[in-house]
Each structure stands twice: as C-alpha cells, then as structure tokens.
Amino acid sequence: MLQTVLAAIGLTICIAMALHMVLPRRARSRVDAGLDRLGAWLRGQIDRATGWRRRQRQTRAAAMEAERAIRRARESSSRDKPEGEWDGNVYRPKSFEKPKKPH
C-alpha cells in the first residue's frame, strides 16, 4: 500500500516536471512565480502557526530583563547617591527639591 502511494506521488512529480519543461518560456516563468508565491505563503503560514510561542517567550524574557535592569539601577543608585524617590523608572534625588535662592 505505502509503495503504491509513493510510486503514484513519484509519477505525478515526473509528469509535472515534464509538462513544466514543455511550457513556453513566458508560461514557465509565470508558473515559477506562482509557485514561489505559494511557497512564500506556505512558509508564512507555518511561521505564524509555530512562531506565536516563540514571540510570547521573547516578550516575557524582555519584560523580565527590563525589570531586572530597573531593579539593578534602583539598588545601585540607593547605595551610591543621596536619598530620593522613584517615579516608575525615573530617580529624583531629594536634593532637587530644595528651593532656589533668589539672586
């Protein structure tokens, strides 16, 4: 059974290649362009179907790395700099809150 199916597939491919060789140059290039578009579309569909998990993983990893970088910046700034406040990922030292002296 499997041998018959494989033989039928091989025969179909051979006939398709023979017909492709018989076509005039313009028709052959049109068929080739259509097959290229079909192949690109199929690759896109496969990438879209299999790539969503990879994109989710990359998004999650990027968010975790950003959080780690913000935490490192907060920790290093609290040790090395005077007291201040964090507003999101922006550090505002208390020294900026002093009123300016008039001249």
**Beta partners for residue 84, in sequence order:** 93
The predicted model scores a pTM of 0.46
Query: According to the model, what pLDDT value does residue 97 have?
Result: 67
Query: According to the model, what pLDDT value does residue 47 have?
Result: 87
84, 93 contact by CB (below 8 A): yes
78, 64 contact by CB (below 8 A): no
Q: Which amino acid does the sequence have at 95?
A: S
Question: Which of 93, 67, 61 has the alpha carbon at shortest distance from 80?
Answer: 93
**Beta partners for residue 85, in sequence order:** 92
What's the CA gap between 29 and 35, in Å, rounded? 10
Query: According to the model, what pLDDT value does residue 82 have?
Result: 59
pLDDT tens for the chain, 103 residues: list them.
Answer: 999 999 999 999 999 999 999 999 999 999 999 999 999 999 999 988 888 888 889 999 999 999 999 888 877 765 665 577 777 778 777 777 666 676 6
Domain assignments of the chain as residue spans, ordered by start: 51-78
- Dihedral of the alpha carbons of 75, 77, 80, 84, in degrees to the nearest 10: -110
